[in-house]
Amino acid sequence: MAFKKVSSLEILGVLSQGQTTWNKTAASRTTSHYMENKLAINLEERLDVVADTYKISRDASDYLLIPARANSIGRYNANMDGWEFDEIHSFRPTLGLRTYSTYVNKPHFVEHNATEPSVARGFILDAHLNLSNEADELVKQAVMQTIGIEPKTDAFVEVILAVDQTKDPVLAKAYKSGAIKTFSMGADVEDTVCNVCGNVATTTFEFCSCVVSKYARMPVRMEDGTIRVATELCRGTVFQELSAVADPADKSAVIQDGILEIAKAASISITANDLQEIVSFTAKYANEITESVAKVFLQSLTNKGL
């Protein structure tokens, strides 16, 4: 694979196992395939496939289900990367599935810490091509700037994530409380095509001047009169993982609160300077803080009824 790509995702809702009603995120007005339809996926059977590799629970009752908006189709993301419908929908004979389905069974990490599968907090249960939402003016403008076509729908890949609440209870609490509302996906792509000049690149050395300067977002008038902004259109995509990118900040906040609660119980005086040191330390080293330590602080909060 030639390139690693990442982009932000939007959580659409949260469902704890045993519940019957989705908690829809307040900011989202997006119609979700998974929240509108009965989930016809056997979680127990899927866990039998992935649980040992990802070192996650085999008990389906331990999981949060989180539908999320993944890749938008036909428009660029914050990294000025884009995916056309034909790429996302294409059948991959060597894989035996469509491109968007390469998300399925892939791991859920924190901050793209994807070197070891056993640190996964869960996995991607399913992926769906969502064509149920009308394109508003902002979407139309973005698609026009990317591929020069005005869309009727706001098309995107929707995934549903299964998060093991027992492996990282701090992360699970952040999802349920709404402290974490965004993800970031990781993908490998074989090459990218400049949407302005058509140059194909398999390495950064092959980038055209349009792509090299893509973050300037300079408008370019095409021969057909449309205005585009330079974007890399990704091809040969295999989606590899989904990460929580706000977890370190949230874990820091939970741990800070836990320290304060423990200090109160022990009648320990914590000054403003002490708290600032805690904030700085946990923000910097949140990924290195062990699960056992995080659980101690989470338990302290739970014992206080927080």
In a domain, 223, yes or no: no
**What pLDDT shows up at residue 305?**
44
Vertex 282, ends 169 and 173: CA angle to 5°?
A: 20
Q: With H, G, I as helix, E, B as strand and everything else as coil, classify residue 219.
A: strand
Same domain, 165 and 289: no
Single out the residue of 16, 13, 18 nearest to residue 34, CA to CA.
Answer: 13
Q: Which pair of structure tokens corresponds to residue 178?
A: 């709404």
Same domain, 38 and 158: yes
| Owning domain of residue 63 | 3-189+239-244
Same domain, 177 and 254: no
In a domain, 56, yes or no: yes
In a domain, 40, yes or no: yes
Q: 1-12, pLDDT tens digit by residue?
A: 578 888 777 788
The number of domains in the chain is: 2
Cα–Cα distances (Å) from 155 to 86, 227, 274, in that order, read 12, 21, 48
Percent with pLDDT over 90 in the chain: 53
In a domain, 152, yes or no: yes
In a domain, 44, yes or no: yes
CA 167 from chain centre, in angstroms, equals: 19
Structure pTM? 0.77
In a domain, 229, yes or no: no
Same domain, 132 and 23: yes
Q: Which residue has the higher pLDDT, 25 or 207?
A: 207
In a domain, 275, yes or no: yes
In a domain, 291, yes or no: yes
Same domain, 162 and 264: no
